[in-house]
Structure 1
Amino acid sequence: MALYQPEPVEISTRMRPGEWTDASLAELVAGYRERILAMGATASEVVEEVEKYDDGSVAVNVSWVKADLAEDAGFTREDAGFTRQDADSADGRRA
């Protein structure tokens, strides 16, 4: 049974320079993803965003974007600017 959430679910954090490594970042994102999947999201509804800043800090956001909510409002995932970004991408920045 999936947990009904009328609003999108988001797990996010910011870390300062020196508080993370590529390996720990990938582990964190995977853990956030698993938590949202455990709530009942499908894999296609999970959006991962990782933004690495020039000062060495990082922002992580893993969201459950429900397709039916977005469609009801007349939006597509592309309209909302959501992209899936793997934590170990080349530069770690959103497209």
Structure 2
Amino acid sequence: MTATPRPTLRVTLIGASLLTIALGACGASPYTVDGAQCSPERHQALVGRNIGEVLLPPNLRKREVGPERVMTRDFNPARLTMFLDAKGWITGIACG
């Protein structure tokens, strides 16, 4: 008597294989710009984009400074500071 695989196990294995293929096809980082620390060269690509379409890594310290916002004076060289216009477009970046 031979054991036949259970249908639920077969479906699970097929689903897991398809998910692995789909994720492997992406290949790129899901973030607009990745990196755990501010890098002027890397993050310059954000200028001209809207903050609503930007996806940054959760471990990157960041702050947004709009035209009517007050900026704190604490300096952190690893933190990305994004300067925004009134509509949320990134007009400049700085580290600190």
Q: TM above 0.5, one fold?
A: no
TM-score, normalised to structure 2's length? 0.25
Greater relative contact order: 1 or 2 (C-alpha under 8 angstroms, separation 6 or more)? 1
TM-score, normalised to structure 1's length? 0.25
